[in-house]
Amino acid sequence: MVNPERFLADLHKLRSFGASGVGNGVVRPAYSEADLAARDWLSEQMAAAGLEVQMDATGNLFGVTEKPSLLLGSHSDSQPEGGWLDGALGVIAALEVARASREADGPPVSVVSFQDEEGRFGVTTGSAVWTGHLEQTVADALTDHTGVSLASARAGLADRVTGPVDARRFTGFIEMHIEQGPTLDTSGGKIGVVTDIVGIRDMRVTFDGQQNHAGTTPMHLRRDAFQALAAFSTGLSDRLRNIVTPQTVWTIGHVSLHPNASSIVPGRVVFSMQWRDAQTDRLARMETVIRTLADEIAEAHGLTVRFGPVLGLDPVEMDATLRARLEDAAEREAPGAWRAMPSGALHDATNVASLMPVAMVFVPSIGGISHAFEEDTTEQDLVCGLRVLARAAAQR
């Protein structure tokens, strides 16, 4: 039997690592001091639950049972300004289910907290390396927005690393997560059983112009990187209109303007260009539009444009058998109050799906807010999700 009090207490304890002091928010980016302290604490909890603690070279943390076992979990790193449940919920729910299953002599359940799901360095970096989608040597060369490489960040893992963790020991993976959107909250639903996860593409773009004096440079002679970005952003919404669906999204979320001073015409801007959709071919068509428009804007503004590597994940469907287990559990724990639904957020489950059967279960996000300090879910909904996960994991 899962213990809701123990589960909620652990969830709050994990929040204390990197607590932002604003609401329940956390600042726990991958490989930060808070992230490593949280991983150390998680390791202790795994060991106390009778699991064998293992960490691979990327920093993915596993608590494993005897083979074979089901794997449950998510990630414990956060966005630069993150909520307390994104990732953390799936890890702590996994810990509670594994612990309760051992106490009750139930089926073996292993636990994982993947590293850098939130993309400080890439897109779901830790699970991408673990599943072989990304070579460690390639990942090592990735840099964050301040220029720090993953290689130097993971040097901080020091002697925590035990070695590779063989995926063949796991029979399947279930990730519990908050929905991070408004669907369950606005419909009064308690549980979402995920049908598929959208695909994502993410690319760094640079416009190089000419840095110059903001008082003396006539407007028609400027090669202003900010003006180019503004025109690009506006133009993109227009150009994409005919190829996107209401579910398609695109975001310029990180902008670094150089030198970012009031009296200087900016000479360079580096920005993140991210787009998501359920269809791989639409993602490709969007990429063509993005590159073509950036080229055109650069030319019109007298700039040059550079594109970084395109990182991404393709859309995936969830495994029918594991999904049916979750649906059956949802109907028992929340009769009539669950729905099958796609995930618009990306998850480690996407990478893991290439190695084993994978499924996901969602609980509501209050106000549909996530990737923000305000992110929250009622305790009743958190516990309902835990019970669904436990019930699904207990089915042999």
Beta strands in the chain (DSSP E): 52-55, 61-64, 69-75, 109-114, 170-178, 191-197, 199-208, 212-213, 249-251, 255-258, 264-265, 268-277, 304-307, 311-313, 316-317, 338-343, 358-363
Residue nearest to ligand GLV (CB): 345
The residues that touch ligand GLV, with contacts defined as CB under 6 A, are 118, 345-346
Interface mask toward Mn ion for 81-100; x: CB under 5 A: -----xx-------------
Residue 379: CB minimum distance to ligand GLV, A: 23
Q: Is the CB of 76 or the CB of 248 nearer to Mn ion?
A: 76
Residue 269: CB minimum distance to Mn ion, A: 25
Q: How far apart are CA 201 and CA 311, in angstroms?
A: 6
Q: Is the CB of 108 or the CB of 385 nearer to Mn ion?
A: 385
Q: How far apart are CA 61 and CA 154, in angstroms?
A: 13
Residue 100: CB minimum distance to ligand GLV, A: 27
- Cα–Cα distances (Å) from 40 to 30, 61, 79, 90, in that order, read 13, 10, 19, 17
Is 374 in a helix, a strand, or coil?
Answer: coil
- Piece of 80-88, 149-157, 302-310, 388-396 that binds Mn ion (CB under 5 A): 80-88
Q: Is the CB of 169 or the CB of 371 nearer to Mn ion?
A: 371
Residue 87: CB minimum distance to Mn ion, A: 4
Q: Is the CB of 98 or the CB of 197 nearer to ligand GLV?
A: 197
Residue 395: CB minimum distance to ligand GLV, A: 28
Q: Is the CB of 59 or the CB of 209 nearer to Mn ion?
A: 59
Helix H segments across 114-256?
Answer: 125-130, 136-140, 150-154, 183-187, 225-240
In the list ligand GLV, Mn ion, none, the entry touching 329 (Cβ below 5 to 8 angstroms by class) is: none
In the complex, the residues that contact Mn ion under the rule CB under 5 A are: 86-87
